[in-house]
């Protein structure tokens, strides 16, 4: 039986990653390299679509970029100097090839391919209306709704039809669209999902993260602004459009905590530096005596370094991670399933036996990882095991393209911090405060009236309408009210 690795279902999955290249020889090969750098954002499926001036070519498959796009015959089949690609986790829509992006359609104006990072939170409502009007959907992905809205728009130009479509959707999106007229890159009005622009010679490149530019040797130019559409025309002209009403941006704060690679720049800030600052702030807020600071690899490493430097406690690798374990493996029984936990993480017993340790991790979702890690430290002989978390408690589901469990399965929704500490069998547990997280990002604290970031997973303060989830949100709000009254 194939099942998910015990640690894999206890993290917030990283939405999706997108990458596009305009005017580059062998564009598809460059896109494949860029997607390699973005593989952490989606490990379920990958796809690339190219345009050779006459014909669109696509290759989409389940699995990683490596193995699907490392064969010469695949890249040769993706001819042209223009291409876009996508790596995916299924935040909406079933897990199948028909939902792998870029999605492609032949419109009246010609071919149209789209790669989407995010989630359209009124997609179900829009889809019902479109189906009633005769639309036929080929996937269960929310992204296909945008294609149908573009196809049915009465505006004259493709760009105007695209803008018309986006004005009907709610939620979060960064999009790269490939047409016979050029390439369009855009970001939702709140800038919830990231998107950056770069250049390599005469080639224009768009990506979810700057690290993808480093891999292909491109220069980072700037972030695509919230609500901005950038059009690259056939003659290489770059045009910027701002068709939406001006609103206060609220990019996802969890990009800084976990999603983005540490070597990326997000909204002008080094992710690595921010995570170290988060760790330092966590040490200020929740100090405790210990012999070693130990990161839960790999996402806890920068915050652990910041905590160790602030607390003046040695940083040590007390947990060793194997990088050769896939996301799934054979588990024929409970005994082997329990042993399988140590395939991915194992305690450095010689280091931690008899020592007081502080474990640093980026978040607690269901709590199963924290429970296993604390148990591992105990079995290795640690005299005390304390846990510090580099984000506030995750109490609410995300509806903006992050694959979070339903709220009832979030440990911080069911328990307070003391109960969570008892659940994972730690000697102490503390999270960074929401104000402390904002301070690590250079703010004075969280402005409850005008927060700088989307932090709904911590606060329940959703920045947009959530038409398809209104009932869920109303339940959440009632629960929040009960908690405050209690």
Choose the catalytic residue: 16, 84, 252, 398.
16
In the numeric block, which tokens belong to residue 299?
């996402």
Best CA proximity match to 306, nearest among 347, 366, 262, 345: 262
Best CA proximity match to 353, nearest among 376, 321, 371: 376
- The b/e string for 323-343 (b: 16+ C-beta within 10 A; e otherwise) is eeeeeeeebeeeeeeeebbee
Q: HSE (CB half, 13 Å, CA atoms) of 88?
A: 29
Element (H, E) at 310: helix 301-311
- Which residue shows structure tokens 């690795």? 5
Best CA proximity match to 234, nearest among 54, 47, 57: 54
Q: How far apart are CA 102 and CA 100, in angstroms?
A: 7
Give yes or no for a contact between 123 and 92, defined as CB atoms under 8 angstroms apart. Answer: yes
Best CA proximity match to 298, nearest among 251, 361, 248: 361
Sheet-wide strand order for 45-51: 56-62, 45-51, 82-88, 16-22, 203-207, 196-200, 219-223
Query: Does the annotation mark 177 as catalytic?
Result: no
> Which residues are catalytically annotated?
16
């Amino acid at each position: 039986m194939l099942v998910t690795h015990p640690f894999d279902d206890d993290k917030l999955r990283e939405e999706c990653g997108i990458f596009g290249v305009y005017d580059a020889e062998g564009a598809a090969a460059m896109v494949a390299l860029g997607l390699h750098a973005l593989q952490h954002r989606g490990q379920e499926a990958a796809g690339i679509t190219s345009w050779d001036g006459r014909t669109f070519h696509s290759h989409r498959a389940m699995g990683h970029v490596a193995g699907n796009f490392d064969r010469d015959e695949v890249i040769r089949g993706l001819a042209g100097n223009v291409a876009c690609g996508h790596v995916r986790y299924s935040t909406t829509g079933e897990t199948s090839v028909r939902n792998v992006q870029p999605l492609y359609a032949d419109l009246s104006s010609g071919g149209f391919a789209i790669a989407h990072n995010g989630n359209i939170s009124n997609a179900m409502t829009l889809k019902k209306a479109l189906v009633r009007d005769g639309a036929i959907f080929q996937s269960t992905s929310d992204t296909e709704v945008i294609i149908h809205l573009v196809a049915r728009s009465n505006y004259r130009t493709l760009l105007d039809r695209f803008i018309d479509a986006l004005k009907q959707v709610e939620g979060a999106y960064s999009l790269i669209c490939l047409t016979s007229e050029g390439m369009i890159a855009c970001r939702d009005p709140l800038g919830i999902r990231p998107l950056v622009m770069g250049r390599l010679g005469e080639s224009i490149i768009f990506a979810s993260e700057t690290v993808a530019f480093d891999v292909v040797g491109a220069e980072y130019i700037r972030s695509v602004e919230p609500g901005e559409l950038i059009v690259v025309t056939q003659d290489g002209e770059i045009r910027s459009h701002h068709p939406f009403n001006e609103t206060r941006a609220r990019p996802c704060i969890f990009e800084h905590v976990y999603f983005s690679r540490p070597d990326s720049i997000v909204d002008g800030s080094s992710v690595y530096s921010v995570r170290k600052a988060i760790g330092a702030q966590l040490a200020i807020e929740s100090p405790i005596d210990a012999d070693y600071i130990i990161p839960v690899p790999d996402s806890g490493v920068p915050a652990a370094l910041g905590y160790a430097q602030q607390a003046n406690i040695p940083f040590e690798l007390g947990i060793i991670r194997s990088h050769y374990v896939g996301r799934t493996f054979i588990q024929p029984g409970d005994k082997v399933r329990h042993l399988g936990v140590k395939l991915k993480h194992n305690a450095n017993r010689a280091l931690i036996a008899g020592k007081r340790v502080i474990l640093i991790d980026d978040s607690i979702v269901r709590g199963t990882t924290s429970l296993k890690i604390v148990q591992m430290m105990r079995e290795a002989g640690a005299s005390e095991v304390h846990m510090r978390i580099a984000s506030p408690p995750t109490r609410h589901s995300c509806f903006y393209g992050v694959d979070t469990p339903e709220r009832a399965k979030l440990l911080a929704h069911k328990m307070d911090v003391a109960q969570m500490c008892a659940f994972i069998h730690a000697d102490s547990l503390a999270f960074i405060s929401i104000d402390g997280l904002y301070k690590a990002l250079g703010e004075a604290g969280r402005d409850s009236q005008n927060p700088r970031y989307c932090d709904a997973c911590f606060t329940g303060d959703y920045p947009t309408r959530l038409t398809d989830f209104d009932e869920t949100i109303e339940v959440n709000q009632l629960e929040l009210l009960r908690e405050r009254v209690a």
